[in-house]
A and B are shown apart, each in its own frame.
Chain A
């Protein structure tokens, strides 16, 4: 318990430090309403994908296919939105998109839980497979131009709060409820910290794993809707740099890559840290590549500090 407190303190100190530095460097521009709104519009996409990454990581797994999955689901949504027209188009597209993402999640779950392929390899395979299917469908082209009602998901606002941010908050609330208040959630944490003990305590490991990848697929589907609504376009290769970022955000937020530990609240702070760096760099007109390097350095810094203070990881 104490050890995890250290980590939260380190992470929050970094956040405060970054905000102060960025405020000084940007002469206060990062604290203006426009900047905060930009953060609220941009953060949810990374946040939703990171949530989709977090659940498998809690079980000691990983899902490398989330970005490919989001792109395939996005392409299916885009095809329906651009090829059909009628009152039913938008709801049908949304259902089909989430259905596609769930299907890929089920495939991952099947491979990991029942065929017992290690998650890195299983999701590496599905990642390449699904990207290939997306490329085959679109031939590499972009599908663009969606109806207004759909774009509301990406750029609309209710009472001044950006729609993507609302979706993100609802998802965070749902996931933390699932993880902390349900038997399924307890099983996930148990499975991540000691799979053998979990099996002997009568938990159906295969079912828990399968549902984990299904949940990851569902969250990916939601992320996909936000993504294509923000870009007003879908393509086979959007957002590939997000994949490594989601792993990074999880670890930064205190999710143990070996499984068993990690809270949604830590993840929330980590995503804000990453977004503050990105927005600050944008305001300072610094290269996004430098932001990438800094993200990596921050992660290594946090891990090293944790190791030095506590003598062990988590």
Chain B
């Protein structure tokens, strides 16, 4: 009974989000008709695919009751390793470029999981330390040099479209292949959480770790899975980011941890674990993306964007906390 009421609550969070998205889109479309053009929407989806993929990884970690702030450093390291290999040996094969960062990300994620499991210290502390370690060592070893000489296939793949349309000025635009990556990862994450045994275990461990341990769950396996999963997605996202930017700068990704966390939390994932959905997270990323896009279209200086995002987080968290308080009161009576 408790479970179904929780589910209902979550569904409501998503409906709120969807409602806000629709209202916001209508307002933005009235202010600037450009907003609702397919071209703008496709742009929005492409530009947010990097954050969208990472937010799905963070979702899985949050559901398990953990938190990861080191994924930006993991993404940076795996991106750099890929960049060095393909530019040094000039490997003109996009599949190789795609397959390098993912195992690097998985290995670094495994380091997080092992330390978190062994020390039993709050994951935020371990991942903060590892953010410093991974990133600090990378910059120290590489000297922070940029990489910008890429093989032909690396450059052409970025322009690949799943759907191609032509606008009234005769310029081609379309749904980027990276949006496809994002959709694919969303579906994969949804399937893992809903249909795989590990998905059920992630919810169980996040809901009540001690109960899950006593029920005979292997906590370490769950932790290993979630931190390696976000590591793998960090690797994939770093590939997307490198493709979109066509340059690898070691300082391009670190510092965006909180954007990703904000999107996942806005989407209804709880920092206490046990709750959160794929749809909520996707909507959270879209909401933040649309707000930023809308503010740009309304020509509001970039400095004020952060104020709006910060207010949204505080209000969203306030509503969630208020709902939890109501639920607790009901439970007590």
Contacts and interface: CB of A to CB of B under 8 A. Distances in A.
B133 A296 contact: yes
B210 to A, nearest CB: 14
Given A136-B307, A313-B119, 20 more contacts: A111-B317, A115-B321, A116-B324, A117-B314, A117-B318, A120-B271, A128-B262, A129-B310, A129-B311, A131-B306, A132-B304, A244-B132, A290-B140, A293-B136, A293-B140, A296-B136, A300-B129, A300-B133, A304-B119, A306-B119
A258 interface: yes
B125 A247 contact: yes
A248 B324 CA distance: 31
B131 A132 contact: no
Interface string B271-303: 110000000000000000000000000000101
Nearest to A120: B271
B136 A289 contact: yes
Interface residues of B, number: 48
Which secondary structure dominates where chain B touches chain A? helix
A312 interface: yes
A141 B303 CA distance: 11
A53 B170 CA distance: 57
A239 interface: no
Contacts of A294: 136
A19 interface: no
B272 A111 contact: no
Contacts of B325: 116
Nearest to A131: B306
B318 A313 contact: no
10 contacts: A115-B322, A122-B314, A127-B258, A129-B311, A129-B314, A132-B307, A247-B124, A294-B136, A299-B129, A303-B126
Nearest to A60: B122
A132 B136 contact: no
Contact of A118 (B119, B271, B305): B271
Given A117-B317, A139-B303, A127 B121 contact: no
Contacts of B140: 287, 289-290, 293
Given A132-B309, A296-B131, A258 B314 contact: no
Contacts of B303: 132, 135-136, 139-140
B26 interface: no
A247 B128 contact: yes
The 6 closest A-B pairs by CB, nearest first: A129-B310, A293-B136, A132-B306, A132-B307, A296-B132, A128-B310
A128 B301 CA distance: 16
Contacts of A139: 301, 303
B35 interface: no
Interface residues of A, number: 48
A132 B322 contact: no
Contacts of B255: 240
Contacts of B308: 132
Interface in B18-36: none
A257 B124 contact: yes
A17 B310 CA distance: 43
Contacts of A292: 132, 135-136
A62 B123 CA distance: 14
B3 interface: no
Nearest to B67: A120
B324 to A, nearest CB: 7
A296 B261 contact: no
A203 interface: no
B13 interface: no
Contacts of B310: 125-132
B125 A257 contact: yes
A118 B261 CA distance: 14
A276 B20 CA distance: 51
Nearest to B142: A289
A222 B192 CA distance: 49
Nearest to B300: A136
Nearest to A137: B303
With most chain A CB atoms within 10 A of its CB, the pick from B131, B132, B135, B305 is B132
